[in-house]
Amino acid sequence: MKTKFLLVLLLISSFSFAQSINDYKAVIVPLKFDFLKSENQYRLATLTKYYLQQAGFTVYYSNEELPQEYYGHRCSLLNADVVKDNAFLTTKLFVVFKDCYGKTVYTSETGKSKIKEYEPAYKEALEGAFVSIKELNYQYNGKVTKDEVVANGMPPKAAANGNQSVVTTAPVAAPAVAVARVPMISSNSNSANMLYAQPTETGYQLIDKTPKVVMKLMKTSQPNSFIAVKDGVQGSLNLKDNKWIFEYYKDDKLISETIDVKF
C-alpha cells in the first residue's frame, strides 16, 4: 500500500512539473558555460541549442536581440545552463533551467561518457542529459507571463506588446543572502541603459532589456562592493553617493563609469 502511494505521489509531482515547464515560451542559452575556457568551445552552445530545439523549445543565444513580443515578458523565458559534475575517468554533464529570478525550475538527469577526448565525450554526455528533457514532452501552453517589480528588486516590467491579455504569476523570492547584501538603489530609474540584476551562485549578472548579459558581479566582504567584469575588463562596482560606479584601470589610468542598475 505504501509503495502504491509513493508511485501515485511521484506521478502527480511529475505531472505538476510538466505543467510548469510548459508555461515558458522560450529558452536562453549562453555562448559560454562556466567549465569551459571560451565561447562555444567544443560546440557545446550549438549542441545545446540544437537539442533544445529537438525537444520542442524555441531557443535564443544570450547575445541575440529578442523579438519585441518578449519586452515586458522576460519572465516567460527560461535560462539554460550546462553544468559539469566532476568525476574520475567519467565525463558527467547535466542541464539546469532557471527562471528570471534565478530560481531552479528543472534539473535534468546526468549524462555520462567514458570517452577520453573532450569533444566527443562532452557530446555524448550532453546527449545523455537531454534524454530526460525530451521525455518531458514540452509544449508551450500559450500562457503570457508579465514581469513584476517585487520587493527584492528584480527586473521591472517593460512595455507590454499591444493589447495582449496578460497573466501575472506570483514572484519567486531570490536567495535571502543575496537580497540582504544590496540596497535597492539605481542611479537613474528612467535610464534607457538600465541594467537588471539576476542572482548567481557567486553574486549577480547584470542584463539589459534584450536580455543580454552585460556585466558579471562577484560578492566581496563589503555589501556595497563587487568584483566586476565587463567586456573582458575586470574592475570593481561600488556604491558611492547613491550611484553604482564601475572602476577599472586602462593604460595605467583609473577609469570611473556610472552604471545604471536595478537590484
**What is the DSSP annotation of 95-114?**
EEEE-TTS-EEEEPPPEEE-
Q: How many CB atoms lie within 10 A of CB 194?
A: 20
Query: Bigger pLDDT: 52 or 145?
Result: 52
Task: Output the pTM of the full model.
Answer: 0.54
pLDDT at residue 19 tops 90: no
Average pLDDT value for residue range 204-233: 87
Report how far residue 149's alpha carbon sits from residue 162's, in angstroms, rounded to the nearest whole number. Answer: 20
Alpha carbon 158 to chain centroid, angstroms: 18
| Grid cell listed for 154 | 528584480
Taking residues 20-24, what's their average pLDDT?
88
Domain regions of the chain by residue span: 2-134, 176-262
pLDDT of residue 48: 96
Question: What whole-number percentage of the chain has pLDDT above 90?
Answer: 41
pLDDT at residue 121 greater than cutoff 70: yes
Which of 14-23, 70-79, 138-147, 254-263 has the lowest average pLDDT? 14-23
pLDDT band at 41 (very low <50, low <70, confident <90, very high): very high
CB proximity list for 88: less than 8 A, separation 6 or greater: none
Residues pairing with 28 in the sheet? 60, 79
Mean predicted confidence (pLDDT) in 92-112: 93
Has residue 246 got a pLDDT over 90?
yes
β-sheet bridge partners, residue 79: 28, 98
Are 220 and 226 within 8 A, CB to CB? yes
Q: Which of 102, 98, 123 is nearest to 111 (CA)?
A: 123
Average pLDDT, the chain: 78
The pairing of beta strand 203-207 with beta strand 104-107: unpaired
- pLDDT of 163 over the 50 cut: no
Q: How far is CA 232 from CA 59, 133, 202, 229, in A?
A: 25, 33, 17, 6
Q: What pLDDT sits at residue 140?
A: 92
What is the reported pLDDT for 249? Answer: 87
Q: Is residue 14 pLDDT above 60, yes or no?
A: no
Q: Is residue 170 pLDDT above 70, yes or no?
A: no
- The CA–CA distances, whole Å, from 167 to 152, 191, 208 equal 21, 27, 23
The 3-state DSSP class for residue 143 equals coil
Please give the average per-residue pLDDT across 85-93, as a whole number.
Answer: 90
pLDDT of 11 higher than 50: no
Helix (H) or strand (E) holding 19: helix 2-21
The DSSP letter of residue 52 is: H
Residue 144 pLDDT grade (very low, low, confident, very high; cuts 50, 70, 90): confident
Which pLDDT belongs to residue 17?
Answer: 46
Q: Say yes or no to pLDDT of 153 above 50.
A: no
Residues 22, 140: Cα–Cα separation, whole Å: 5
